Chain A
Amino acid sequence: MRFFRDSVIVFRRQLRMNLRNPAWVIIGMLQPVLYLLLFGPLLEPLIDQFGAQNAYTFFVPGMLVQLGVFGAFFAGFSLIGEWREGVIEAERVTPASRTALLVGRLYRDLLQLLVQAGILIGLGYLLGMEASGVGLLLGVALTLLLGGACAAASNALALTTKSEDVMAPVINMVMMPVLLLSGILLPMTIGPAWLERASDFMPIRHVVDGVRASFAGDFASSGVTWGVVWSLVLFTLAVWWGTSTFRRENA
């Protein structure tokens, strides 16, 4: 109860500051639209090679995850600004739960992701996507877990590096293999065998497969199970890491 109240205070504060920034709102809304309208036509002709029937049922889950992962990776940048101005320290001298300080910030990222997912899925339907209702909800839930994990990791990284100059290259370096090996846009099945083997070790790939399988209504497949398992594992680990940096932040 106490934890929930604290995290809502933090969330409300974050949301208030972000809503005051029109760029955050506009870019956030525009992103899914651009993804779908620009990437969609490019990928549509390739769909036969992937062995899927409906191009948008295949691409929308990938874009959803990409949106979640990429947006969340950058969540930590605003935290560095807050840290520099002493906000984090001021919050840490209050009796508020350390996890609430992190999770309140995650709510904001998750809300943003949820709105973006709504826009993306709505547009997807307009463009001819066919997806099961339950699968859609499960897919979004998995994406939120993964997005939350990435945002928590990003916050932890922010409080560890405390410098945009260090953080930006680190995120860039992490993002490249993530984008490639998780098969977010192009499935790993079309690549050489060794690359596909390598991608088995990329946890986010299993989440992408899970989201894709659940959109397709393929609940019996192991893809959904592994997607659920991995997104829960990643989320738990990242929140634990993030909390420990809030607890131990050393200035």
Chain B
Amino acid sequence: MQTFHSRQGRTRTEVRAVDGVDLDVAEGEVVGFLGPNGAGKTTTLRMLTTLLRPTAGSATVAGYDVVTRSEDVRRSIGYVSQTGAAFSGARAGDEVVDHGMLYGLPRRAVEERGKELFERMDLSGLWTRMPRSMSGGQKRRLDVVMGLIHEPRLMFLDEPTTGLDPQARANLWDHIRDLRDRLGVTVLLTTHYLDEADALSDRIVIIDHGRIVASDTADHLKDRVAGDLVDLELVDRSRIPDAVQALDRLVTDRSGVDVTDHHVRARVPQAGRSIQGLIRHLDTAGIELRTIEVHRPTLDDVFLSLTGRSLRDAETAPAGTPGSPDGVPAPPVPAGTPTGTPTATEGALR
């Protein structure tokens, strides 16, 4: 276990970090950091990106220690924060060039790379536009361009699609996938949207109260939950006891069968395999069905089974929003940092 002292506002709070978690990120992997607001996602990210100095404990990013080799870490990573990176009243291109030059790159190289990234990110023609007169999606993509300007192998995206309309979100998702597929960039992104983690991540790390509660692919995580939800709607209510009996045979844990009105529901592991037998059984027993539905578990189910709360409940609980403005003392935000051994050479994060 690692402990960090973190200063929030004026109060100095001791926050407990992640307990014995190994997190290896392979090169070219997209890892989603999922958790409710205040779970410690942003704090963790800020420590991994050297913005927040852990007063105890250690973390290694891209092969460098975040405290002792912070400059090397900064050179190797790109970071897109929640707030953005470009000043609203400056020209987009100027901001990109200045940002790139702060990495010690020559002006011409940065300009070339910047314009190329503008093309790639659907920002062509916006080089001299001010972010103030850009749409939310364009601004976000500009932030990503700034994070990519020095060709980092590892990108940190902090809630990249928060505040975007659905279309802009879907568009940004495509671009994030593109980072991995075409540029081979390793991506670690935080999100509190289930669908986002599901859609983008090769692997999902669920964090709650500063602890990593799970780390696996979306499919494996879903399999770990009691199983798929099978929902039978009966025509004749009097046959419900028979249907319950039939379904109960497929349930492997103690979650049981749930009955409401004409519906009989239960969690069945790998329902795809057993559903055929179930239908055959119901058919021979003469139980007529109006509808049958099979739902893969959602990440919300995963979160519920791991923490006992749904993600939405966790959000509404009084949680400190990381990055609350002007030193208003926020409730202690637990912070975590993953440790382990790097598996990939460059994009490795341990």
B102-A84 in contact (CB<8A): no
B103-A17 in contact (CB<8A): no
Which residue of chain A has the shortest Cβ distance to B146 in the bound complex? A90
Q: How many A-B residue pairs have CB under 8 A?
A: 87
Interfacial residues of chain A within 61-93, with CB under 8 A of chain B in the complex: 81-82, 84-87, 89-93
Interface extent on A, as a size class? 20 to 34
Which residue of chain A has the shortest Cβ distance to B9 in the bound complex? A250
A87-B85 in contact (CB<8A): yes
In the complex the two chains form, what is the Cα distance from A166 to B328 in whole Å?
12
Chain A nearest Cβ from B66, distance in angstroms = 12
Chain A binding surface, main DSSP class: helix
Does B71 reach chain A (CB closer than 8 Å)? yes
Does B177 reach chain A (CB closer than 8 Å)? no
Which of B86-94, B225-233, B300-308 participates in binding chain A? B86-94
What's the tally of chain B residues with a CB closer than 8 Å to chain A?
A: 38
A86-B84 in contact (CB<8A): yes
Q: Name the B residues within 8 Å of A160 (CB-CB).
A: 327
Which residue of chain A has the shortest Cβ distance to B107 in the bound complex? A9
Which of B49-57, B179-187, B270-278, B291-299 participates in binding chain A? B49-57
Chain B binding surface, main DSSP class: loop
Q: Contact check: which of A90, A95, A163 meets B326 at CB < 8 Å?
A: A163
In the complex the two chains form, what is the Cα distance from A251 to B326 in whole Å?
8
Chain B positions 98 through 118: 1 when the CB is less than 8 Å from some CB of chain A, otherwise 0: 110111100000000000000
In the complex the two chains form, what is the Cα distance from A17 to B90 in whole Å?
6
Chain B nearest Cβ from A20, distance in angstroms = 8
Query: What 3 A-B pairs come out closest when comparing CB atoms?
Result: A86-B83, A90-B85, A163-B326
B103-A250 in contact (CB<8A): no
Chain B positions 112 through 155: 1 when the CB is less than 8 Å from some CB of chain A, otherwise 0: 00000000000000000000000000000001001000000000
B50-A93 in contact (CB<8A): yes
Take A6-B102, A9-B101 as given contacts and tell me if A93 and B327 are in contact as well, using a CB distance cutoff of 8 Å: no
